[in-house]
Structure 1
Amino acid sequence: MAPFATSTRPASLQLSALLCVLLFSEVWVLQCSAAIGINYGQVGNNLPTPAQVVSLLSSLRVGKVRIYDVNPQVLAAFAGTGIELIVTVPNDLVQPMAASAGQAMQWATANIKPYFPATRVTGIAVGNEVFTDDDQALKASLVPAMRNLHAALAQLGMDGYVHVSTASSLGVLANSYPPSQGAFTPECAPLMLPFLRFLAETNAPFWINAYPYFAYKADPANVSLSYALSDPYHVGAVDPYTHLQYTSMLYAQVDAVTFAAARLGYGGIPVFVSETGWPSKGDADEVGATVENALAYNRNLLVRQVGNEGTPLRPRQRLEVYLFALFNEDMKPGPTSERNYGLYQPDGRMVYNVGLAQQQTTSAASLSLAASSAPPAMDVGKDLTSLCLISALAILLTSQAFLLG
C-alpha cells in the first residue's frame, strides 16, 4: 500500500504542516550560517576589497565581525548590512586616550560617529592583549583609556549601543585547569580589579583570545586531540571540584576565566571568545597544523553554536565565539601557521568547507568571490547544511506520521 494512501487529514492541514516543516528547516539553515562571528584581519597585500568582503559575508549570512582597526573603507562598506561590528583602538593610542578625555572624544567623533548607526558598531576593543604586554605604562593606561572612551560615547549618545572592552590572551591566567581553579597571574590580578569593575558598571563582556591549538602543539603526547578539537562526542574531562564534564578545551578555558573573575568578586560578567581558530598549515615543528584538524575544530564549534550551547558552568547562555579568521593573511610575521588560519584564500577560494553555505546573489563582487570550491576529500556529505537538512527531514517524517495518524 502506498505510504500516503491511508491519510484522512484535510489537504489544507497537510500543506500547513509541510510549510511549517520547510520554514523550520530554513531557520536551521540560517542558524548554521549566522550563529558564529568571524575575525576579518587585513594584514595582507592581496586581500579583496571591503565591498567584496561584505558581499562574501552577506552571502554566508554571517552576522558578527571583528576588525583590528577603524579602516574608514571597511566601516563605510558595512553600512546598511545589519552586520554587527567590533572595531579596535590600536595599542599605540591607548596611552594618549588615557591621558586626555579630549583625545578619546576626538577618536570617537572621527572614527565612530560618522558611520553610526548605519554601520552597526556594537563593540570597541581598546587595545589587543594589553594585559600580557611587557609595557607596564601601557597596561596601567588601559582602564583609564576605556573610561575616557566610554564617557565620550555617553556624550555622543552611543554608550547604550556600543560596549567598550579589551581582548586578552589566555596568558592572563596563572592556571586554567581544572576550570574551577582558574586564577589570574599575580602580575595581572591587580590590573584586573579595576578592569572587571568597569565591565560590571557598563555591562560589557570580558573578551578572551583562546587557542586550544597551542596547548596541543606544546604537548601532543599528553593533550587529547579530540578534546582540543572540541569534539562533542569525546568523553572529555570532569572537573574534580565541580563535577562538571567538559568535552571542549575551549569551553573549559572560558569557564576558567569566569572562575578567575569570580575569585575577584566579579563572577557575573559574561566571558566571550573574541578569537579562536586552528591553522590549516604550519612548519615542520608545528604539530597538528593540518587542514583536517582546522576543519574539525571550526566545524565542531559551529555545530555547538548552532545548538546554542553554553559552557558547562553557564549552560543556558550561548557562548559567543569569533572564529579566526576569514582570510589567510600573507603579510603576518612569525611561523607559517600565522598566515594560515583563514577559512578562505584571499581570492575567495575555500581553504576547506567548514559548512557555511553561500547564497546566490546578483552582486558581481560577490559572484567573483563565490567561485569557491572545497577540496573534494573535505566535502563528502559533512557540511552543516547537510546536518540541518537531515534535521528538517527527521521533522518532516514525524509530521507525516502525525498526518497519517
Structure 2
Amino acid sequence: MIANFSLSSLVSFVFFFFLFSPSSAASVGICYGRIGNNLPPPSTIVSLLQSNEVTTVRIFKPEPELLNSFSDSEIKLMIGVPNEMLPLLASNPVEFSLQWLQDNIFAFLPPTQIKYLAIGNEVFIKDPYYTPFVVPSVYNLHQALISLSLDEIIKISTPLAASVLSTSFPPSNGTFNPDLLPQIIPLLRFLKDHDSPLMINVYPFFSYINNKKDIGLDYALFNTQGVLLDNGLFYNNLFDATLDSFVAAMEREGFRGIRLVVTETGWPTAGGEAASLENARVYNGNVVKRALGDFGTPMRPSAGVEVFLFDLFDEDEKDGEEYEKHFGVFALNGVKAYDVNFS
C-alpha cells in the first residue's frame, strides 16, 4: 500500500503523531545493502526483520518498491540520499528539495517512519567530487523539513568514513584531516545547532587487517584482557577508541555534546584473513550487547551510542576484496548466519 501523503496533509499528520505515538525502546539497527543479483525480494524483508525484533533499518537510496514494502510496518528508517543527487539539491531553491522529498520518499512512506536522512555516504574521502555539495544539501533539505514541521522528527547528517581523522591514536589526540576542515566545521555547526548526530562508519576489521603490527585481533574483537591507558582512561577495544577519537576531534574544534551514531559497523564471515563466522559472531555480538546496554565510551560513559550493523545479507556484486561481499548477518533464506540477537 502506498502512503501517498500530499505536502499539505503532512503538518496535521505530524501533530497527531506527537500526541499519540509511544516512545521507542533502545534498539540496534541493520543496514540493508542491495548490491547483489540473488537477494530476496523486498516484500519478504519486513517479516524477517520483525521476527528478529529489528526495529531500525538503514537503506542506501529511496527505491519506491523498497520504501513501499516498509510502509506502515512500524520499522524506523535511515534513508540515504545518493551522492549523485547532491549537486541538484545544493544548487536549487529549497522548493526543489521539498519536491524531491515528496516524489521520492513521502509518496511511498509515512514521514514519521523516517528517523534519519543520510546525505551521501563517505563523500569526503571516497567521492570527493561531491564534497562541496554536502553541507548545502543538508541545509536545503533541513529547510524543506522545517516547512513541513518535520525537522524535530527527521534528523539530517552525513555518514563519514573513519579516515576523515588524520590522527586517531591515542583517542585523546583525535584530529580531523585539516584539508577537510572547511567542510567539516560548518557540518559540525549544523549538527550542534539542530541536535543532529555525527554519523560515522566504524570498522575495526579494516583497521586490524591494514595494521596488524600495532592492532591485535583480540583488541578489535572486544576480547582483550589488556587495556590502553590514555589520560587516565582505559580502553579494552578498538571500537570505543575510535568513537572517542571522533569525540576528541570535535572538541578540538570547539564542538562539545554532539552525539554519535555508528551508521555502519560489522565483520565479514569469509573472504580473507580473520574473516570468519566465529569472529563475526563475537564482534557483532559484543557491539549489540554494548549498544543495547546503553554503554558509553570512556570519554562519555553516560552517553549510549546507536549502532547499525552491516549488513543484512551478503552482496555478491560488491567491488573490492572478496571479504567485501561477505558481511551478511542473515543467509539468503532468512536464517541467521550466526547467533546474534537484536533485543
The answer to whether the superposition gives a TM-score over 0.5 is: yes
Matched ranges for 1:179-198 at <5 A: 179-198=171-190
Residue equivalent to 1:165: 157
Say yes or no: does 1:130 pair with 2:116. no
The question of whether the paired residues in 1 share the 8 Å contact of 2:89 and 2:137 is answered with yes
Instruction: Report whether the alignment pairs 1:58 with 2:50.
Output: yes
1:267 aligned partner: 256
Which residue does 1:310 correspond to in 2? Answer: 296
Listed as ranges, the matches of 1:24-35 within 5 Å are 35=27
The equivalent residue for 1:247 is 236
1:213 aligns with 2:202: no
Shift of 1:139: 0.7
How far does the alpha carbon of each residue in 1:129-159 deviate from its partner, in whole angstroms, 9 at most, with x for none? 01113534x1111101110111111112211
Deviation for aligned residue 1:189: 1.6
Corresponding position: 1:111 with 2:100: no
| Equivalent residues, number | 319
What is the distance in 1 between the residues matched to 2:172 and 2:92?
39
Residue in 2 that maps onto 1:352:
338
Q: Distance in 2 between matches of 1:145 and 1:302?
A: 32
The one-letter code matched in structure 2 to 1:263 is R
**Separation in structure 1 between the aligned mates of residue 86 and residue 52 of structure 2, nearest angstrom:** 34
- Give the match for residue 306 of structure 2: 320
Q: Is this contact kept in 1: 2:72–2:109, CA < 8 A?
A: no
Kindly state the Cα deviation for residue 318 of structure 1 after the two structures are TM-superposed. Answer: 1.0
- Higher mean C-alpha displacement, 318-327 vs 219-228: 219-228
Amino acid of the residue matched to residue 123 of structure 1?
Y
Q: Secondary structure at the match of 1:128?
A: coil
Q: Quick check: 1:279–1:338 contact (8 Å CA) kept in 2?
A: yes
Query: For the residues of structure 1 that align with 2:294 and 2:127, how far apart are their CA atoms?
Result: 37
Alignment of 1:13-52 (within 5 A): 35-52=27-44
SS at match of 1:160: coil
- Cα distance, 1:208 vs. partner? 0.2
- Residue pair 1:82, 1:119 contacting (<8 A) in 2 also: no
**Does structure 2 conserve the Cα–Cα contact (< 8 Å) formed by 1:75 and 1:119?**
no
SS of 1:318's equivalent in the other structure is: coil
Matched, 1:236 2:227: yes
Determine the C-alpha separation between the residues in 2 that align with 1:118 and 1:219.
43
- Quote the offset at 1:116 in angstroms: 4.7
Q: Which residue of 2 aligns with 1:81?
A: 73
For 1:146, the equivalent position in structure 2 comes to: 138
Task: In structure 1, list runs of 5 or more residues that go unmatched.
Answer: 1-30, 358-405
Task: Measure, in 2, the Cα distance between the counterparts of 1:228 and 1:127.
Answer: 27
State the Cα distance separating 1:336 from its structure 2 match.
1.0
Normalised TM-score (structure 1)? 0.75
Give the letter for the 1:135 counterpart.
P
Tell me the CA shift for residue 67 of structure 1.
0.5
Deviations 1:350-392 (A, max 9, x none): 22222458xxxxxxxxxxxxxxxxxxxxxxxxxxxxxxxxxxx
On the 8 A contact 1:133/1:139 being kept in 2, the answer is no
Structure 2 letter corresponding to 1:147: Y
Q: Residues 197 and 119 of structure 1: is their aligned pair in 2 closer, same or farther, counting only changes over 3 Å?
A: closer
Residues 118/191 of structure 1: CA separation in 2 closer, same or farther (3 Å cut): closer
Mapped partners of 2:218, 2:79: distance in 1: 33
Alpha carbon RMSD of aligned pairs, Å? 1.8
Gaps spanning 5+ residues in structure 2: where?
1-24
Letter in 1 for 2:323: S
SS of 1:275's partner is strand
| 3-state DSSP of counterpart to 2:116 | strand
SS of 1:238's equivalent in the other structure is strand
Identity %: 39
In the TM superposition, 1:194-205 aligns within 5 A as 194-205=186-197
Cα distance between partner residues in 2 of 1:103 and 1:46: 35
Partners of 1:134 and 1:300 in 2: CA distance: 31
One-letter amino acid of the structure 1 residue matched with residue 226 of structure 2: V
**Contact 2:288–2:342 (Cα < 8 Å) also in 1:** no
How big is each residue's C-alpha offset from its partner over 1:309-337, in whole Å with a ceiling of 9 and x where there is no partner? 11111111111111101111111111111
Deviations along 1:256-280, one digit per CA (max 9) or x if unpaired, are 1111111111121111110001111
Q: State which structure, 1 or 2, has the greater radius of gyration over its C-alpha atoms.
A: 1
SS of the residue aligned with 2:106?
Answer: coil
